[in-house]
């Protein structure tokens, strides 16, 4: 069994980007908008700030009160869309209940959508056109490629169908010639399907949900879950037992998480180049 080390690959990606950015006269700028005080969001925004500082991006963190009106948030996004200094805009999820997340995500112009969540960028991904792609799914595919794990012709089973991970992954894997099956909370006989997977991706936010008897021998297992319990992080996969059966597996933490940050870093530079044309 080989551990897929997302931390190591992330560092390599950031170092490459840092080198490229050091030669730019005008630096890319990432703006992160956070609404309210979600402790997990505070952590994620801090990570993004550290990444930006390391590479040499300009970084702005705009923190708004949780009772802000949707209209005010949309006005701010319009302003950032028009600002030529801004390369990428990211609205940190979750948003308070009075704000429609989809409306907000789609207000960001596609060329600055470093989260890859607008309907335009999602549509381009479906049609296999070059675009800004959601960071976690892209990180998963890049991690597999780094370890020379073939995707073509493989049966990929994705457990979870979120807009952030599951749905973009379907298209990314199809674009890489995999056969894709998607499971979710309404799937019957889940275990019989996960056991067919050459590559099993689990993204449901349920601590150690996937047990060893749900995985076939020598499968590649990608654990996207981050579950906090007594200040300890757990994945969606029972790592200690599943790792004994798998050929490759991602740890939590240190697997997919760091790759998400690396792909965001890549998207900021990509957006910068798109917007400077």
Q: Any bridge partners for residue 221, and if so which? A: 200, 249
- List 115, 223, 236, 238, catalytic entry: 115
Residue matched to tokens 């805009």: 89
Interatomic CA distance for residues 188 and 205, integer angstroms = 19
Six-digit token string for 258: 């760091």
| 115 is known as an active-site residue | yes
Interatomic CA distance for residues 107 and 119, integer angstroms = 10
Q: In this structure, are residues 264 and 258 in contact, taking their beta carbons and an 8 Å threshold?
A: no
Q: How far lies 122's CA from each of 131, 139, 256, 266, 274, in Å?
A: 9, 16, 21, 17, 17
| 84 is known as an active-site residue | no
- List 48, 124, 154, 270, catalytic entry: 48
- List 5, 92, 113, 154, catalytic entry: 92
CA atoms lying within 13 Å on the CB side of residue 16: 11
| 11 is known as an active-site residue | no
Q: Could you count the other beta carbons within 10 Å of the beta carbon of residue 188?
A: 7
- Catalytic residue IDs: 48, 92, 115
């Amino acid at each position: 069994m080989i551990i897929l080390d997302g931390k190591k690959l992330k560092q390599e990606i950031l170092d490459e980007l840092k080198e490229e950015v050091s030669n730019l006269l005008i630096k890319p700028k990432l703006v992160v908008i956070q609404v309210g005080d979600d402790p997990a969001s505070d952590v994620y925004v801090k990570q993004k700030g550290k990444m930006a500082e390391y590479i040499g991006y300009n970084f702005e963190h705009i923190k708004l009160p949780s009772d802000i009106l949707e209209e005010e948030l949309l006005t701010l996004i319009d302003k950032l869309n028009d600002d030529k200094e801004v390369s990428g805009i990211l609205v940190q999820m979750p948003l308070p209940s009075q704000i429609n997340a989809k409306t907000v995500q789609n207000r960001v112009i596609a060329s600055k959508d470093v989260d890859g969540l607008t309907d335009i960028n999602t549509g381009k991904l479906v049609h296999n056109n070059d675009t800004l792609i959601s960071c976690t799914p892209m990180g998963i595919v890049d991690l597999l490629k780094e370890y020379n794990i073939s995707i073509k012709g493989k049966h990929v089973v994705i457990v979870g169908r979120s807009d952030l991970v599951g749905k973009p992954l379907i298209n990314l894997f199809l674009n890489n010639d995999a056969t894709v099956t998607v499971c979710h909370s309404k799937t019957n006989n889940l275990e019989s399907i996960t056991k067919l997977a050459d590559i099993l991706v689990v993204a449901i936010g349920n601590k150690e949900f996937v047990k060893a008897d749900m995985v076939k021998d020598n499968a590649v297992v990608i654990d996207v879950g981050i579950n906090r319990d007594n200040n300890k992080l757990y994945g969606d996969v029972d790592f200690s037992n599943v790792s004994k059966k798998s050929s490759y597996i991602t740890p939590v933490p240190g697997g997919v998480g760091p790759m998400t940050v690396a792909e965001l870093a890549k998207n900021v530079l990509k957006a910068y180049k798109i917007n400077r044309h």
